[in-house]
Amino acid sequence: MKARIWGCRGSLATPGPSTLRYGGNTMCLEVRSADGAIVIFDAGTGIRDLGRTLSTETVHEIDLVLTHLHLDHIEGLGFFALLFDPESRIRIHGPRPASGTLQEQIAAYLSPPYFPVPFERIEARIEFEELERENWEVKGLRISSAPVCHPGPTLAYRVAENGASLAFVPDNEPGLDKNSGLEIAGDVDLLLHDSQYTDEEYATRVGWGHASASDFTAYLKAAAPRRALMVHHDPTHADAKLERMLESARAASGHPELGLGHEGLEIEIA
């Protein structure tokens, strides 16, 4: 399977000269199976460019899997080209909300006053699937979900195909629960994990749902992935700052295959 990052900024899209190397679009990851099935994880602003690419490939069937409904993970959805293609069929999977349904919550966001077009007028055929702790399959990709430590219902996902595996854990606060999501993140070939804060920043942001540098390092040791990427970059962290955070994390963890997620990064997982 192949993965491509279309956005890995956390909290708020952050375009501009200081974020050119790692990108300013919020979270969106594309995963393709060996036989071409496409699963998209999160619909941050990165999904806009992905949608333009998919339109040129005449793709009509998509599974979109949401970790949670914080705006940085859904704010690109209204600008995803396939939404306005009457031939497309989109299955949106996401965590079961504390109240109401997933469909009601997405429809509320994709309607006035937050969005110009009422949800009923969106042309794609959309189905909703509410998840907690589940296992299912999309054309050869086996996907598992489990709750993680983050404000509001939030899931992490593991994708596996032919013995290769990837874990997507963009929002997680191991500082409050060091085992949060380890059943998903443990022993994978590639882990994408929250690494938003320095230890100094985390001291005033406990309970906001993200990892400090020290907690990320400890989590990495516990999960022991073959390769790991730091994602959910803080909007205030310029490229050079992210590179300093990577150096510290490499030194602290000793992990030989640790890097920074960046827009456009494509990884073959075998």
Residues 6 or more apart whose Cβ sits within 8 Å of residue 53: none
Q: What are phi and psi of 138, to 5 degrees?
A: -120, 105
CB of 247 to Zn ion, least distance (A): 24
User: Interface with Zn ion by CB under 5 A: which range of 72-80, 84-92, 246-254, 260-268?
Assistant: 72-80
Check binding of 234 to Zn ion (CB under 5 A).
no
**In the complex with Zn ion, which residue's Cβ is closer, 131 or 160?**
131
- 18 with 237: CB under 8 angstroms? no
Check binding of 75 to Zn ion (CB under 5 A).
no
- 5 with 264: CB under 8 angstroms? yes
CB of 208 to Zn ion, least distance (A): 9
Residues 6 or more apart whose Cβ sits within 8 Å of residue 100: none
Q: Identify the residue among 49, 85, 161, 171 touching Zn ion (CB under 5 A).
A: 171
**In the complex with Zn ion, which residue's Cβ is closer, 30 or 161?**
30
The two structure tokens encoding residue 71: 């705006």
Check binding of 72 to Zn ion (CB under 5 A).
yes
User: Interface with Zn ion by CB under 5 A: which range of 57-65, 81-89, 165-173, 175-183?
Assistant: 165-173
Check binding of 210 to Zn ion (CB under 5 A).
no
- Tell me how far apart the alpha carbons of residues 181 and 72 are, in angstroms, rounded to a whole number: 20
Check binding of 70 to Zn ion (CB under 5 A).
yes
CB of 120 to Zn ion, least distance (A): 28
- Tell me how far apart the alpha carbons of residues 24 and 27 are, in angstroms, rounded to a whole number: 9
Check binding of 30 to Zn ion (CB under 5 A).
no
- 243 with 260: CB under 8 angstroms? yes
User: Interface with Zn ion by CB under 5 A: which range of 6-14, 115-123, 176-184, 255-263?
Assistant: 6-14
Residue 158: strand, helix, or coil: strand
Check binding of 49 to Zn ion (CB under 5 A).
no
- Tell me how far apart the alpha carbons of residues 87 and 193 are, in angstroms, rounded to a whole number: 34
Residues that bind Zn ion (CB under 5 A): 10, 70, 72, 171
